[in-house]
Chain A
Amino acid sequence: MDPIFLYDTFVRLLGGVPLTLQLAFSSIAIGLVAAILLALMMRMWFRPIAWIADSFVFVFRGTPLLVQIFLIYYGLGQFRPALDEMGLWWFFRSPYYCALLALTLNTAAYGAEIVRGGLQSVPSGQIEAARAFGMSGLTLYRRIVAPIALRQALPAYGNEIILMIKATSLVSTITLMEVTGLAHKIISETFRSFEVFFAAGAIYLIINFAMTRLIGFAEQRIAPDLDRASRPVEVH
């Protein structure tokens, strides 16, 4: 293994880090909002709305992300005239926006399940007690349900964030040059896959390690009184 080549590759690959992070964070941020909306839809008493959310989650969790990316980027190209007419073609023509859309929809589906689990974990006694105090609607959600659900859901959501950072690598298949895309380019130029793998792998491990620490820190801040072992919220 050639240390100079390894170093050069590492530096070249660092050029892809901004795109990787940008895609990961924008899709996670928009996806989280969508996930919360989906989770609330899944709990609606009006069943048709719940069915829509359920089937969305079923389809996006049941198929590979790569297929979803291809469906959006290549597949929707079939409807170019219609999209042109609606003035949406600029969006679906761009690999960046298509990748962002696919990643967002995907993480929204997985996130919805996590949020739903968090909401389900709120003990009904807490809600009853809050109602007895006269809280209802938004106040109830903001002061009782959301904090408890957030505590419960954060560890699982942390996993989802790591998965999303890894998932951004798939956008390299639709010509976006993030870290994996650059790695593939260097491999096909030099055929030195081992060194490139080590350099690219190191970058992902560093990012994921930093994220894990950040999430752990957030967990500490949100639930300082709970350690990991006694996670389920106790009811006294």
Chain B
Amino acid sequence: MQAKSFFELMQWGPQGWLDEMLFATVLTLAVAIVGFLFGLLFGTIAATAKLSGSRLARRIADVYTTVLRGVPDLLVIYLFYFGGSAVVTSIGNMLGVQGFIGLPGFMAGTLAIGIVSGAYQTEVIRGAYLAIPPGEIDAARAFGLSGLALLRRIVGPQVMRYGMPGMGNIWQLVLKESALVAVVGLSITLSEIRLADLVVFYETRFSDLLRQAHVAAGSTRQPFVFYITAVAFYLVLTTASTWIFRRAETWATRGMRRV
């Protein structure tokens, strides 16, 4: 068999893989964005707990951030994927559905990424909150602001401003972490667990960039071409986000005095 050239492989349409690779890039981005938003949710809750007066809440939040930052992300993805499927299956059996039900890879992956990045986001949000001069909150209270209004008009904007650089770093982490979702699909094919329908579901609907590169590499026997393309697409994603976050930072600090 004559080996195809790079440009023949990277055509648009059924002959080439460019459309698949671009589609996979979009899915990777979707996994990262959803995972990041989950993380924002968990991070906000845990940061609130850490700043709260309750000792129990603080203790729980401390355990959460210590454990999730000390354990490999891949382990967490396995926990959510296999553990989540076990939970869903037992609920299904209770409701009278027979057999094994798998948690969709997209959901397990984004939840796992969310839990992990939430642990990092907790510290950023907490730090940003503590950076607000306490006088500003006192002043706002003196003006009669409280509860949601205080949060929306005084605390929220400043947390966003102070937290922006840290959040930019975490976004980069999340973007790179999203590659791990590929392993969930990959490991299932390799270890032949009885999840056949799920594998098909994953392969046809949720192939992230790395997984897609892996599939294409297997079918064309030209692995280097596809992995180096994945590298290039990831570089585009990370470079573009660096640029966007820099813009967002200038926007968020537009009213501040520059030193």
Given the contacts A75-B224, A188-B193, A204 and B70 also touching, CB distance less than 8 Å: yes
Contact between chains at A201 and B231 (CB < 8 Å): no
List A contacts of B186 (CB < 8 A): 173
List B contacts of A169 (CB < 8 A): 72-75
List A contacts of B234 (CB < 8 A): 62-64, 67
Does A194 have its Cβ within 8 Å of any Cβ on chain B? Answer: yes
Does B170 have its Cβ within 8 Å of any Cβ on chain A? Answer: no
How far does the alpha carbon of A193 sit from the alpha carbon of B85 in the complex, in Å?
Answer: 10
By secondary structure, the A interface counts as: helix
List A contacts of B82 (CB < 8 A): 187-188, 191, 193
How far does the alpha carbon of A205 sit from the alpha carbon of B81 in the complex, in Å?
Answer: 21
Task: Give the residues from 59 to 106 in chain B that come closer than 8 angstroms, CB to CB, to chain A.
Answer: 66-67, 70-76, 78-79, 81-83, 86
Query: Contacting chain A: which of B19-27, B42-50, B133-141, B176-184?
Result: B176-184
How far does the alpha carbon of A197 sit from the alpha carbon of B179 in the complex, in Å?
Answer: 21
Contact between chains at A75 and B179 (CB < 8 Å): no
List A contacts of B177 (CB < 8 A): 64
Does B217 have its Cβ within 8 Å of any Cβ on chain A? Answer: yes
Given the contacts A183-B78, A191-B86, A63 and B176 also touching, CB distance less than 8 Å: yes
List A contacts of B227 (CB < 8 A): 67, 70-71, 74-75
Residue of B82, B193, B213 ringed by the most chain A CB atoms within 10 A: B82
Contact between chains at B179 and A66 (CB < 8 Å): yes
Does B16 have its Cβ within 8 Å of any Cβ on chain A? Answer: no
How far does the alpha carbon of A167 sit from the alpha carbon of B222 in the complex, in Å?
Answer: 27
List B contacts of A66 (CB < 8 A): 179-180, 182-183, 210
Contact between chains at A67 and B231 (CB < 8 Å): yes
Contact with A along B168-196 (1 / 0, CB 8 A): 00000000111110110011000101000
Does B228 have its Cβ within 8 Å of any Cβ on chain A? Answer: yes
Q: Closest Cβ of chain B: how far from A198's Cβ, in Å? A: 9
A contacts, CB < 8 Å to B: 58-59, 62-68, 70-71, 74-79, 162, 166-170, 172-173, 180, 183-184, 187-188, 191, 193-194, 196-197, 200-201, 204-205, 208-209
Q: List 16 A-B contacts (CB under 8 A).
A: A64-B177, A66-B179, A66-B210, A67-B210, A67-B234, A70-B210, A70-B214, A70-B227, A75-B226, A193-B78, A193-B81, A197-B79, A200-B75, A204-B71, A205-B70, A208-B70
B contacts, CB < 8 Å to A: 66-67, 70-76, 78-79, 81-83, 86, 176-180, 182-183, 186-187, 191, 193, 210, 213-214, 217, 221-228, 230-231, 234-235, 238-239
